[in-house]
Amino acid sequence: MDSSKEQLLSPSPSYEHEHFRRSYDARESFDLGSDLDATEFLQSDPLTSSKPSAAFSTQPRNRWLRKTCGCLAGRSTRCIIGCLGVFALVWLALGAGGFFAFKKYKQTPPDGLSPPWYPTPKGGTARNWADSYRKASEMVAKMTLPEKVNVTTGTGWKMGPAVGNTGPAIHVGFPALALQDGPLGIRFADNATAFPAGVTVGATWNKQLMYEWGNAHAIEARKKGINVILGPCIGPLGRMPAGGRNWEGFGADPYLQGIAAAESIKGIQEEGVMATIKHLVANEQEHFRQSWEWGLPNALSANIDDRTMHELYLWPFGDAVKAGVASVMCSYNMVNNSYACGNSKLLNGLLRDEMGFQGFVMSDWLAQRSGVASALAGLDMSMPGDGLIWEDGKSLWGPELTRSILNGSVPLDRLNDMVTRIVAAWYQLGQDDETKFDRKGPNFSSWTDEPKGVFAPGSPTEQETVTVNQYINVMGDHAKIARQIAAEGTVLLKNEGLLPLSRDTSTHSNETERRNGPLQIAIFGEDAGPGEGPNLCEDRGCNQGTLASGWGSGSVEFPYLVTPVEALAKTWEGNKDVKVSTYLTNKPPFSKQPEILRDAQLCIVFANADSGEGYKAWEGVNGDRPDLFLQKGGDELIIQVAQGCHGGNGEVLVVIHTVGPVVMERWIDLPNVKAVLLANLPGQESGNALADVIFGDLNPSGKLPWTIGKSLDDYGEGAKIMYMPNGVVPQQDFKEGLFIDYRHFDKYDIEPRFEFGFGLSYTTFKFSDCVVKELKAKSPFPAPRPKDFAVPPEYDTSIPDEEEALFPKGFRKLEKYVYPYLDTVDDIVSEPYPYPDGYDVQQPLSGAGGEEGGNPDLWEVYVTMSTNITNIGDRAGKVVPQLYLRYPQGISTVEFPVKVLRGFDKILLEKDETKTITFNLTRRDLSYWDINAQNWAMVVSGEYKFLVGQSSRNLPVSATW
């Protein structure tokens, strides 16, 4: 597609800010923030006050690490006129209705394929939450109406130190909550770890590291005064390999995503910090994900059938709920033409009734698109509190929710449940323990690096200057965890005897003959070096230097970044037998200095591919990548180096840092490309982790969390980003159903370049013997839904006295701050409210529900499979056994994937050691979603087949049940 057409509805991809603000000074910008995105073309944008980081400093200082890089900051008259002209042309071209279609869809379209599900099931029915709900009910019963509203509504963007802040319920002792972006670390914070990205964690296939990643993050968050981490991320799932935010999740398979989510949630919440699983659901691309961000008045609708929703996109959310996650964040997009944060079927029917979710649902930042309707549909917390426009202080809840209670449009029963869910989560995580949570709030500011500032910089009202940054170092020894994850998340894709490199440089491991003099090693590529520092661009929104993170609200300030060239050079430092030359550019002067390549015996070349959240753009990458190729001429660099290294006879090691799959066909089979390492997004310990693998200090054990195809077309039509809207309300039909990533490759018998789950080792493993043991007999459906363990709290539902909703006398307001109070109650009128269709229809309870995570029978182990694994190589290494399930064939008219992942583990084996690994398969693992029975069904006739091996296409042992 013509790149000029791709950008017709998006902001200009590049613009350099002349100066970067150090405090709260206003500036024009289209840069946006938090888990949040921007609302382009509206009155203001949230990250106009994005701030530099203090990193390691214990006091404020100027930083070389961060300079400005943004888009559309200062707009010329010519630019504005041009943009308006293009904008007008696009509107005329869109759809059959042009401008009339625009007028028709200025308001949210009526719900389409998403049926109503009312009323919202109340929390407090599950065994594990019963005590927390008891405590919460006692507190909520004493709250005033304004206090209840305060707990459910954010105070507004930049109206507090965190990216999300709620108001307190002072009279009952419930504090304001601070919510901060993840999942790579603490966004906007100083002296905090920049962990590897979620995709790198997924590539470890190591459950223990998944747990430790979450736990370390939570330790730092708690010590910084944060109550709620906005992570982990399992949506997007990875339907589209070029999706901008795929790197925040764990891989393109629901089972892998679900296990990683559950483990990281356990790690986070065992520290007492609330985890937030996001984004519910089907937010699979950045283009058109949010109203107005791309110039359209409504977001894209992801249209998904019932079975695909359950087996693919909702599957990992089920694992998260089973793990006890405190919060779920609903996404910006529509689901079947109903906004996710106002979709009653999704929030009430699927999440609460089927999955038994006991925590609270928060909106993504400005993803709430209605007031009363979203409350009725199951939203519990509005973030950041502003309504349809950033930083205007006009909340859809806040005083409007207070008014809605007083006029009877929102039942007090619903508000009580909203508040109780939030307070119960607070008790559930032990945040009432003041020895761990001091109730003083964050000890850092998201909006400035200066030690002094104001509490609510988003308000123009004059405020007292106070200490906002205490520069507390919370990193501890977490660099060790970050390094281990980065190393184990590095995937060895190709190795023809080159790796590991020997520190004894008399020879390579491949015994390349030395010439007279030292071994000549040349390192090429911008991606090997520091560039202009890891924090050059806001929210990491540009690709320069070595790539260690994608961009957006999931990014963090790097306290430091160990580059590959730094770590490699340090290894050879002082060694007279080695001469290292570095060319940290993607355009070395090969023509003018041919000896650069001619003299090199070992060439190490680095390249990358970047992407991020849709509110930022960089050189044609508008959130989503425009293709699957390496960026900044990376493919050309690799080819030039391979062809010229030592006259074409030198050995070449290629290292790739990437947000997702990249097409390697132009160079992967070149004869002197001897080894390829895919290092994903490694975080601050990038170079050290890479050196650990290259020199064999750690035997590579990473596995691909997605498939690397030979072209984008290999992934199917459903894998392609919608770069141009197909209507004023873009409609994206998930017609491929269950068949994404390796499932698609299997169905159509497409040979990938590297399959899902693939990754080499420096040793060799042998799988042998299979033993299947039945623990429970097959049966069509789960056991009957059990009765609720506990009865939800009940409260007085009489409408409160209107007078308690008024601003207290003498109250000093901050302009734009979201309060729960009203200026007057004289205009409160109780009239019949036009409730949505189906609101008065009581829904039958799902047989798939009954407890946290769903029907308890779904989590019972029905069969086990054991196999032996032996290390037959010459060194110790970690093996990742993977179990894939094949449903009984030819028995049912239901179509199944060729195979689906249903188990994995990671174990260390010494040389010649054998261990037995056992996989436990639950009823849920063995079931599919029966759209007629509306329940999880097991195939009771025929044979299930279990296949075990080291990747989705290397499965040497199998057994049937």
pLDDT value of position 852: 97
CB-CB neighbours of 889 under 10 Å = 13
Q: Which of 883, 960, 886 is nearest to 928 (CA)?
A: 886
Distance (Å, rounded) from C-alpha 533 to C-alpha 596?
26
pLDDT value of position 805: 96
pTM: 0.90
Give yes or no for residue 898 having a pLDDT over 60. Answer: yes
Look at residue 183 in the predicted model and tell me its pLDDT.
Answer: 79
Structure tokens at 553: 């609200």
Q: In this structure, are residues 496 and 651 in contact, taking their beta carbons and an 8 Å threshold?
A: no
Q: Mark 567-578 as b/e (b = at least 16 C-beta within 10 Å).
A: bbbebbeeeeeb
Q: Are 959 and 771 in contact (CB under 8 A)?
A: yes
pLDDT at residue 10 is higher than 50:
no
pLDDT confidence band for 294 (50 / 70 / 90): confident
pLDDT band at 161 (very low <50, low <70, confident <90, very high): very high
Q: What are the DSSP E strand ranges found in 749-880?
A: 765-774, 861-871, 877-879
pLDDT band at 112; cut points 50, 70, 90: low
Largest CA distance in the chain: 94
pLDDT level of residue 809 (50, 70, 90 thresholds): very high
Question: Tell me, what's the pLDDT at 833?
Answer: 87
Catalytic residues: 364
Whole-number pLDDT of residue 566: 98
The pLDDT tens digits for 580-591 are 999 999 999 999
List, for residues 692-743, the tens digit of each pLDDT value. Answer: 999 999 999 999 999 999 999 999 999 999 999 999 999 999 999 999 999 9
- pLDDT at 110 > cutoff 60: no
**Contact present, 412 and 793 (Cβ < 8 Å):** no
pLDDT confidence bin for 113, thresholds 50/70/90: low
Residue 80: pLDDT band by 50, 70, 90 thresholds?
very low
At residue 832 the predicted structure's pLDDT band, cuts being 50, 70 and 90, is: confident
d(CA 584, CA 327): 44
pLDDT for 626 beyond 90: yes
At 335, is the secondary structure helix, strand, or coil? strand
Q: Which of 365, 442, 385, 497 is nearest to 186 (CA)?
A: 442
pLDDT at 701: 98
Q: CA-to-CA distance for 18 and 68, rounded, in angstroms?
A: 7
Over residues 862-886, the pLDDT tens digits come to 999 999 999 999 999 999 999 999 9
Query: Quick one: average pLDDT of 364-377?
Result: 96
Estimate to the nearest angstrom the gap between the alpha carbon of 90 and the chain centroid: 31
φ/ψ of 131, rounded to 5, equals -70, -40
Helical spans, DSSP H, in 872-959: 923-926
Q: Which residue did the predictor score with more confidence, 504 or 187?
A: 187
Opening angle at CA 342, ends 341 and 346, nearest 5 = 80
Would you say 716 and 666 are in contact if contact means Cβ atoms under 8 Å apart?
A: no
Better-scored residue on pLDDT, 26 or 528:
528
Amino acid at 954: N
Q: Which two tokens stand for residue 701?
A: 């054990």
For 303-349, the pLDDT digits (tens) are: 999 999 999 999 999 999 999 999 999 999 999 999 999 999 999 99
Report the mean per-residue pLDDT for the chain. Answer: 89
> Is residue 469 within 8 Å of 190, Cβ to Cβ?
yes
Q: How far apart are CA 794 and CA 412, in angstroms?
A: 11
| DSSP structural state of residue 168 | P
Instruction: Flag whether pLDDT at 41 surpasses 60.
Output: no
8 Å CB contact between 586 and 634: yes
Amino acid in the structure at residue 781? F
**Confidence band for 400, pLDDT divided at 50, 70 and 90:** very high
| Strand, coil or helix: 334 | strand
182-210 core/surface letters (b: 16 or more CB in 10 A; e: else): bbbbbbbbbbbbbbbbbbbbbbbbbbebb
For residue 78, the model assigns a pLDDT of: 38
* Residue-wise DSSP of 348-399: IIIIIIIT---SEEEE-TTT---SHHHHHHT--BBSSS--SSTTS---SSTH
pLDDT at position 16: 32
Contact 605, 515 (CB under 8 A): no
Average pLDDT over residues 291-313: 94
CA dihedral 490, 491, 496, 500 (to 10 degrees): 20
How confident is the model at residue 505, as a pLDDT? 64
Q: How much is the average pLDDT of 405-418? A: 96
